[in-house]
Amino acid sequence: QVQLVESGGGLVQPGGSLRLSCAVSGSISSVSDMGWYRQAPGKQRELVAAITTSGSTNYADSVKGRFTISRDNARNTVYLQMNSLKPEDTAVYYCNADVKVFKYYRPYWGQGTQVTVSS
């Protein structure tokens, strides 16, 4: 069994900050690419940020300069530091990771954590 456990969501005022965490656990051999997605009500799920094992990153244009993705390979954990939050950042944020179980990598998802930006 592979689990992705997210934490760190909540309610924050515009301009505030939050830090999301996602830890991968279970019977895994290794973890490859990791990332964060979000889904707002009535909208499709979209990529927010992604990071490779070597630390190369990719961001959605809407969060560049405000969000930072990082990872701790030893702990199979990925983080998303979100600064200068805007109301349009309100969404359920999902962690995603490519996890090797036995021979093959496959994508796994966390349960989602709500981020609400409102005054």
Q: Is the CA virtual torsion 92, 19, 83, 32 positive or negative?
A: negative
User: How much is the pLDDT for 1?
Assistant: 87
**Rounded mean pLDDT, 34-56:** 97
Give tens-digit pLDDT for 65-78. 999 999 999 999 99
Average pLDDT, the chain: 96
Q: Is the pLDDT of residue 10 over 90?
A: yes
**Rounded mean pLDDT, 82-103:** 96
Q: Is the pLDDT of residue 39 over 90?
A: yes
Q: Which of these, 27, 22, 14, lies nearest to 89 by C-alpha position? A: 14
> Whole-angstrom Cα distance, residue 50 to residue 18?
17
Percent of the chain with pLDDT over 90: 93
Burial class (CB in 10 A: 0-12, 13-18, 19+), 6: buried
